[in-house]
Amino acid sequence: MRLLILSLLFVSTFAWFYGRDEPDRWSVGGVWPLPQKIIYGSKNRTLTYDKIGIDLGDRKDCDVLLSMADNYMNKWLFPYPVEMKTGGTEDFIITVTVKEECPSGPPVHGASEEYLLRVSLSEAVINAQTVWGALRAMESLSHLVFYDQKSQEYKIRTVEIFDKPRFPVRGIMIDTSRHFLSLNVIKRQLEIMSMNKMNVLHWHLVDSESFPYTSEKFPELHGVGAYSPRHVYSREDIAEVIAFARLRGIRVIPEFDLPGHTSSWKGRKGFLTECFDEKGEETFLPNLVDPMNEANFDFISVSENVNRKTFNLLVQEFLEEVTETFPDQFLHLGGDEVNDFIVECWVRNKKIRKFMEEKGFGNDTILLENYFFEKLFAIVEKLKLKRKPIFWQEVFDNNIPDPNSIIHIWKGNTHEEIYEQVKNITSKNFPVIISACWYLNYIKYGADWRDEISGTAPSNSRYYYCDPTNFNGTDAQKNLVLGGIAAIWGELVDNTNIEARLWPRASAAAERLWSPAEKTQRAEDAWPRMHELRCRLVSRGYRIQPNNNPDFCPFEFDEPPATKSEL
């Protein structure tokens, strides 16, 4: 009987109506994502704003650390809308020691984010190899701070943490072609990413619908392809995003999808092929690059040729400009869903068919695709600023990828199917990034971060449980898994809803990509920390949606009060 009573007491702390979690089941000073090793002390320390400081030591002039100190001291450490107490405690200094020099550029792939954090009753000490590790440590420290409503004061938990990420690529993909996203909204997502220790913004800049990227060498691209002159990103805008991301330890990887999804490139005459319907009528909806561009120009007069560039020269000059704009060593070149447009734009195009016959391709459009990608690989190889190309997985499935390529996996209706994709591609010695686990643009009714929700593919839920290395492969294969990127495609996503739709669902991916797999087996155990994270970010001013059935935060999100002019 005693055992039964204890069992019922245990269950009652985890179950509420219909077996749901208690609406106030949150941790106190829980860290998200879960560190590699964390040991809490038995006591907490009271904090007051006037008695806390940050000592940057030899790195006191580093802009990354100065920005960090300013953000946490003035915004993130004390986010709750309560009256701040002062005095009554001893000074509490956070000492930050970083071994490497302050970098002038953004983080590079594989840069150390490891850190040691010790919080005692008298001080906090952060040790890190790089400034990026110090950033991650400071975010963890901010998670240790909580507001004690009984004593009405801020406190911090004492702790010792050793931490480093499980994967070097932990990112979010945004789509600014289908719906334009303002710089302020992009920056807000970057801030939330840093609060989840994510380090890659995959920027899907252009697609069939619009071309918001401002090209100085080829202004006709955005001049014709953008929704309007207001719906563009200038070079200065992009530099601002990259600089903002850098201060938060985030890389920015651009994507320019080729040869499909290119209808918005129509401003460049001759770049796209004509497309035809079943009756042979031109659709005037080109969505594939013309792969025979150079051969066509052989038949154009010299005067015409002077005014028009061949495919190789156009793409090379364009990508040279892109690499000058985006400093990251990775460059995403798409390559997906070419089959969706092949019949309309290549098979029914008489000029393309003739070109294929001349090249000895017969009716095999895969050979034509290979021809295109061979030219593209050669162009990437010749770039002045060298880049490692990323391609969506069709380039592996259907074509012959350059050995230097990274393959980006987006297919698989179940986690098991995704794992098979990873196993197959890594068996051919290609590094991979996984997005198939985390397509967050899909809307489901329920706690999809942990539960399987019917209505879409099973892989479009249970985000917390998709483990990129959970396949039967060698250690060498698993070392080729670079990490993952949660995707938020923009067909039905814009400034108004991207934040709430992403977060905290993307936080599930963040923990999966940072934390030890063996310590993060159960979403039920993770929920109290995620709940505390959600409430903390809500108090920091972000629209972080409920994602675990009915619950509440000690301080709820609210819109700013109306101004007099609005009344």
Can the peptide bond before residue 403 be classed as cis, meaning omega within 30 degrees of 0?
Answer: no
Q: Which helix (H) or strand (E) holds 223?
A: helix 219-225
Provide the β-strand partners of residue 95.
55, 125
Backbone φ and ψ for 340, nearest 5 degrees, come out as -65, -20
List 321, 337, 417, 452, catalytic entry: 337
Residue 337 catalytic?
Answer: yes
Cα of first residue to Cα of last residue in the chain, in angstroms, is 63
Do the beta carbons of residue 98 and residue 59 sit within 8 Å? yes
Backbone φ and ψ for 120, nearest 5 degrees, come out as -110, -175
Q: In the structure encoding, which two tokens stand for residue 516, read together?
A: 């030890």
Q: Scanning the structure block, which residue is given the tokens 């880049």?
A: 387
> Closest by alpha carbon to 469, among 433, 497, 438?
433
Q: For residue 51, give the DSSP letter.
A: G
Q: In the structure encoding, which two tokens stand for residue 145, read together?
A: 């701070």
**Rounded CA gap, 106 and 112, in Å?**
13
> Closest by alpha carbon to 138, among 85, 82, 86, 67?
67
If you count them, how many residues does the chain have? 567
Calculate helix-pair angle for 311-325, 365-382, nearest 10 degrees: 50
How do strand 153-163 and strand 37-47 relate by DSSP bridges? antiparallel
> Closest by alpha carbon to 333, among 302, 289, 384, 280?
289
**Rounded CA gap, 532 and 79, in Å?**
13
Q: What are the distances in angstroms from CA 90 to CA 46, 78, 86, 123, 174?
A: 9, 18, 11, 10, 45
HEC states along 325-358?
A: HCCCCEEECCCCCCHHHHHHHHHCCHHHHHHHHH
Q: Scanning the structure block, which residue is given the tokens 């001013």?
A: 541
Q: In the structure encoding, which two tokens stand for residue 336, read together?
A: 């997906």
> Closest by alpha carbon to 80, among 145, 140, 32, 24?
145
Do the beta carbons of residue 65 and residue 131 sit within 8 Å? yes
**Rounded CA gap, 450 and 461, in Å?**
7
> Closest by alpha carbon to 246, among 390, 75, 108, 389?
108
Q: In the structure encoding, which two tokens stand for residue 174, read together?
A: 């945004």
Q: Which residues are marked as active site?
A: 337
